[in-house]
Amino acid sequence: MSTQVRYELRCRECRTTWGNQPVSFCQKCFAPLEVAYDLATIRQEISKDEIARRAANLWRYKELLPLPDRFESSLPVGFTPLVKATTLGEVFTGKSLHSKSIYIKNDAVCFPSLSFKDRVVAVALAQARNFGFEIVSCSSTGNLANAVAAQAARAGFKACVFIPSDLEPAKVLGTQVYGAKIIRIAGNYDHVNRLCSQIADKHPWGFVNVNLRPYYAEGSKTVGYEIAEQLGWRLPDNVVVPMAGGSLITKIHKAFKELAELGLVESKNVKFFGAQATGCSPISTAVKAGRSDIEPQKPNTIARSLAIGNPADGFYAAKTIVASGGWAEDSSDPEIVEGITLLAETEGIFTETAGGVTVGAARKLYAQGRIKPEETTVLCITGNGLKTTDALAGRFETAEPIPPKLAAFEEHIGRELVNVPAGGD
């Protein structure tokens, strides 16, 4: 790495370096690329105090992101709340917890499009501009399309995104509203993804999760940086992370490792726990079978944002989990819905189906004793429940309206009061 370049692409297998260019795999051995940093130089320039002085968004970790020189963003992406989840923890363990032991990292409220995909897109578009792309694109299970469409609108890119034809209406609308072009593919996400690889091979478009993928994926590290900083610059004992392509879990691992190498946190063996839907569980199946080679599956789950049967980083996700001493679990469709409502009723957080997967898997991990009540555990909630309300269709009754009269209210409440749940702190 030259002294001017803080980061460059490096093959995850043969370690060949490729400078900086819009390409996702090694041109020598065809394995995936990732961004490697000159951490020795960065160590001289970064400090907790300096980070604390910066605005509360993911750009506060700019030295650890692959951003072009003099890049400035006005978009305050990231730095989502890390909230204690004591009531949820009590449900998981059946007893009172130490008050600091379970947390929700709430990317359901990430800016601007209400999922963690805002983080990766923010970094990818910085490089899309740098490489001169005018059209940005992606293959998406929904959230990514929302994030690309929203940020492309603000940054002045044309956006054209590819989605499977069966996505939730709110995720389709939440892309169209920004003026992005949507191409619906008659097939599942893996069909969409393969097509996008072929298009990216032929057309000079900036596909955030194809030819810009190594840069894009680095944005996920900010989830890990924020967790560490919000815990007071220390690492948790465990993290529970939903897995689709498997990238997020590997990047949180990378983030923790970098912070330890930079001396910003004490080094620690954090256990990584992956969560998948039972109807699309190629990574958790591999972990449970004690292997890291992934056998693809045909997805069949209500958690469409996680419905990737051939996960690009499945191999690395499984390896990360096993090496950390963690585990992987999966949630069935009813368990996903139960997870959504449980998180809403206990912590006041409305997550999408992927969050239901994470809550359902975490519940099992506590029950199995793989996660212990006294350990500090962070559940990563990556998306917002308002985007997947169809998963809850028919679950709640629509109340009959009552006349706007006090007497009618008194009569109604007398009848209904027994059904009003008690509030809690």
Partner 1 sequence: MGITVSIPTAFRRHTEGLDRYDCPATNLKELLDAMETRFPELKPHLRDEDGKVRRFLNIYVNDEDIRFLGANYKFSEGDEVTLVPSIAGG
Residues engaged in binding partner 1 (CB under 8 A): 24-27, 29-32, 139, 187, 189-194, 196-198, 200-202, 207, 209-211, 213, 244-247, 293, 295-296, 298, 308, 310-313, 315
Q: How far apart are CA 248 and CA 320, in angstroms?
A: 11
Q: Answer yes or no: are the C-beta atoms of 123 and 219 closer than 8 Å.
A: yes
Q: Of the two residues 103 and 162, which places its CB atom closer to partner 1 in the complex?
A: 162
Q: Of the two residues 79 and 205, which places its CB atom closer to partner 1 in the complex?
A: 205
Instruction: Give the Cβ contact number of residue 186 at 10 Å.
Output: 9
Q: Answer yes or no: are the C-beta atoms of 356 and 387 closer than 8 Å.
A: no
Residue 71 neighbours by CB under 8 Å, 6+ apart: 62, 126, 130
Q: How far apart are CA 195 and CA 184, in angstroms?
A: 12
Q: Of the two residues 7 and 25, which places its CB atom closer to partner 1 in the complex?
A: 25
The H or E element spanning position 214 is helix 213-218
Q: What is the closest distance, in whole angstroms, from the C-beta atom of residue 24 to partner 1 in the complex?
A: 5
Q: What is the closest distance, in whole angstroms, from the C-beta atom of residue 313 to partner 1 in the complex?
A: 6
Closest of 81, 357, 425 to residue 229, by C-alpha: 81
Tell me which DSSP letter residue 236 carries.
Answer: -
Q: What is the closest distance, in whole angstroms, from the C-beta atom of residue 7 to partner 1 in the complex?
A: 19
Q: What is the closest distance, in whole angstroms, from the C-beta atom of residue 316 to partner 1 in the complex?
A: 11
Tell me which DSSP letter residue 307 carries.
Answer: -
Q: Give the bridge partners for 105, in sequence order.
A: 82, 380
Q: What is the closest distance, in whole angstroms, from the C-beta atom of residue 398 to partner 1 in the complex?
A: 38
Q: Of the two residues 27 and 96, which places its CB atom closer to partner 1 in the complex?
A: 27
Closest of 366, 382, 363, 384 to residue 374, by C-alpha: 366
Residue 159 neighbours by CB under 8 Å, 6+ apart: 135, 136, 137, 148, 149, 152, 153, 178, 179, 180, 181
Q: Of the two residues 6 and 119, which places its CB atom closer to partner 1 in the complex?
A: 119
Q: Answer yes or no: are the C-beta atoms of 149 and 142 closer than 8 Å.
A: no
Q: What is the closest distance, in whole angstroms, from the C-beta atom of residue 312 to partner 1 in the complex?
A: 5
Q: What is the closest distance, in whole angstroms, from the C-beta atom of residue 15 to partner 1 in the complex?
A: 15
Q: How far apart are CA 333 and CA 307, in angstroms?
A: 12
DSSP codes of every residue in 355-372: HHHHHHHHHHHHHTTSS-
Q: Of the two residues 34 and 329, which places its CB atom closer to partner 1 in the complex?
A: 34
Q: Of the two residues 46 and 380, which places its CB atom closer to partner 1 in the complex?
A: 380
Q: Of the two residues 253 and 364, which places its CB atom closer to partner 1 in the complex?
A: 253
Token output for 258: 């970098």
Q: What is the closest distance, in whole angstroms, from the C-beta atom of residue 247 to partner 1 in the complex?
A: 5
Q: Of the two residues 138 and 152, which places its CB atom closer to partner 1 in the complex?
A: 138
Tell me which DSSP letter residue 62 carries.
Answer: G
Q: What is the closest distance, in whole angstroms, from the C-beta atom of residue 259 to partner 1 in the complex?
A: 24
